[in-house]
Chains A and B, each alone.
Chain A
Amino acid sequence: MTPNPEKETAPSCVEEGMKSPTESPIIHVACRGIAPCILLIGIYVFFHGHYSPGGGFQGGVLLAAGILLLRLALGPGLSQNIMPTWITLRLSAVGALIFAGTGLLTVIFGGKYLDYHYLHLLWPWLEPAWLRYYGILLVEVGVTMTVMTTLVAIYDDLLGC
């Protein structure tokens, strides 16, 4: 994708966003303190999906909320470090590919599509029930990546980054 020649002269959204949208240090410090907590809760909800309400979709939304809070408070430029704009849609595709690739792996190993019992070639020492346990975890990783990065990507598209 070649950049628009008219846009090349004007500073991009990321360069403009290097100065924060708000001058208030209270908002900066509060958001930079709260965002890691939200990310931590998101990771907890994701990994605890086997035992309590939660899972890939909810954990992904919480992780996206943590990143979007930084995007809102610090501006799109300063918050590029935690998740750059260019990586969002790529990671989203990778997440969907992890899900579909797990299914494809079971087909290659001789089972039906997404039949985690046939992942025994990956982890030969596990019982079938635990194979399904880790198959679910593998699939949830893909769901989380897709949901989190897609929400951030839509926000960045709306800003025009």
Chain B
Amino acid sequence: MKTFQYLLLLAFLGILLAAVVDLPPRGDLAAPAHQTVNLVGTPVAGAYYIMHAYADTKTPNMVTVILADYRSLDTLGEVIVVFVGGIACFFILNVRRRVP
């Protein structure tokens, strides 16, 4: 069983290494991630963000713009997850202190 686990890990390592070797070099303009139109013919979101982020919001930090403006509903979900985590900790950790 132990040898099987190691073999499985080695297989995953091989898959990951093969994927890493095939990655395009950084800054390659011909890479699929850097196109304005992808292979199917629909526009790519990342290129739009890079071109329009500063003009839309006057904010130099592109990550903040995507996080809090273009994808703000996603961030709202994250905040609610944090809040619900706090509420859940409150009720689980205080369960003995409440009157039954």
- Shortest distance in angstroms between B41's beta carbon and chain A's nearest beta carbon? 26
> Which listed residue, B69, B85, B94, touches A132 by the CB 8 Å rule?
B69
Is B68 in contact with A136, judged by CB distance below 8 angstroms?
yes
B87 interface hit (Cβ, 8 Å): yes
Among B60, B67, B98, chain A packs the most CB atoms within 10 A around the CB of B67
B59 cross-chain contacts in A, Cβ below 8 A: 50-51, 132-133, 136
A150-B86 in contact given A55-B67, A132-B69 (Cβ < 8 Å): yes
Is A93 in contact with B61, judged by CB distance below 8 angstroms?
no
A157-B61 in contact given A89-B86, A135-B69 (Cβ < 8 Å): no
A124 interface hit (Cβ, 8 Å): no
B99 interface hit (Cβ, 8 Å): yes
B57 interface hit (Cβ, 8 Å): yes
Query: How far does the alpha carbon of A130 sit from the alpha carbon of B59 in the complex, in Å?
Result: 9
Q: Could you mark each residue 69-100 of chain B with 1 if its beta carbon is under 8 Å from any beta carbon of chain A, else 0?
A: 10011011011101101110110011001110
Interface size on A, residues (CB 8 A): 46
List CB contacts (< 8 Å) of A110-127 with chain B: 113-114, 116
> Which listed residue, B56, B61, B76, B89, touches A99 by the CB 8 Å rule?
B76
B63 interface hit (Cβ, 8 Å): yes
A51-B60 in contact given A96-B80, A114-B76, A150-B86 (Cβ < 8 Å): yes
B60 cross-chain contacts in A, Cβ below 8 A: 50-51
Is B83 in contact with A93, judged by CB distance below 8 angstroms?
yes
Q: Could you mark each residue 20-54 of chain A with 1 if its beta carbon is under 8 Å from any beta carbon of chain B, else 0?
A: 00000000000000000000000000000111111
